[in-house]
Amino acid sequence: MVNRKVKLLIPKDRGELIPIFFVLFLICVYVIFELYVILPAIYNNIFTYKEICHLIFGLYIIFNLIGNLFLCMASDTSIDTIICPVLLPSPNITASQSSTNTHQEMIYQHCNWHYCHRCEVNVPPRSQHCHLCKKCILKRDHHCSFLGRCIGFRNIRYYMCFLIWTWIGLFYCNILHVDYTYELVGTFSWRVIVACLFPFGAWLFRVLDHFSLLLSFICSTSIVLSLYILFLIIQQMYLIMNGQTWHEHGKNIQIYSGQKDLQSNLEIIFGRRWYCVLFSPLISSPAYGDGMTFDSTTNEPSNSRTSENKRI
């Protein structure tokens, strides 16, 4: 079991090891920078109860960040975790008899059990083959190159929690950087703003020295990364609230969207204890369902104009 977890941590495409190490490198840089530069400068190397509170909260952020990162990478999202039928099950979503629209054919292929010629096995609805992972992924959302694996049915909870705790950590770092800047210069001026937003330009025009360039670069990078992570969180939460994956959103497949309330959609991703999962990656809250059957809204063809909910 341990060897299997270790193998899952190594991406199939060895080139993706570079962004993974880059993510781990950034985490280490920010942790060292906050512990050995920012906090000692703010509290003048005096070990107070405020610094102890900062350390405890910082360790809690690191625990959740690393824990969700590890479980996201170590979770097997492929169809290897299920028993696929030998015979292709009968379709639950039927294509319109009078339509040869390629979009209808795509919905028919995506929302029913179908045969994967690369894996040579029948795969469930909403599953897709990933060319980088070289496997079919249960309820595949997208492939994350920074983590070197696909985000799917079994690890999207940890992926979302990793993004949220990354943003919390970066936002917390930005607050400490503001305190550090004020402690260092005593006030805010146009030089400080230029140094934070354009560190290399300020260094070229000799507004900053070499060490200040490094500090300004780390501070400005944390601002940019926090905005980028927040953008990813908003995008992913929008898809979760609509009950869609990235593929379904891009292909305008809405057969699984718009039929559940917010709590139901959160339970599908985070499990029945969705309100607790953010506090620790160790809290048990399996995703709702089995990754093979889903509630869908199907429209009857021709002129009936009625709809019904089906479990497929």
Q: Give the predicted TM-score (pTM) of the model.
A: 0.85
According to DSSP, the residues that pair with 304 across neighbouring strands are: none
Say if CB 298 and CB 93 are below 8 A apart: yes
> What's the pLDDT score for residue 161?
95
**Total domain count, the chain:** 1
Instruction: Kindly report, residue by residue over 54-109, the tens digit of the pLDDT.
Output: 889 999 999 999 999 999 999 988 888 888 888 888 887 766 543 457 777 777 77
Place of tokens 């049915």: 153
Which pLDDT score is estimated for 248? 87
Q: Residue 46: which residues within 8 A CB-CB, separation 6 or more? A: none
- 19 has pLDDT over 60: yes
Closest by alpha carbon to 212, among 28, 4, 8, 41? Answer: 41
- What's the pLDDT score for residue 261? 79
Report which residue type is found at 261: D
Q: Which residue has the higher pLDDT, 118 or 1?
A: 118
C-alpha 44/C-alpha 49 separation (Å) is 13
Distance (Å) of CA 297 to CA 21, 93, 111, 209, 308: 42, 10, 11, 62, 6
The parent domain of residue 57 ranges over 2-311
Given a cut of 70, is residue 231 above it in pLDDT? yes
pLDDT at residue 235 tops 90: yes
pLDDT over 70, % of the chain = 79
pLDDT digits (tens, 9 = 90+) for 135-181: 999 999 999 988 988 999 999 999 999 999 999 999 999 888 877 76
User: Which runs of consecutive H residues, i.e. helices, occur in the chain?
Assistant: 2-9, 17-33, 39-42, 49-74, 102-110, 156-185, 190-197, 199-204, 210-242, 246-250, 262-270
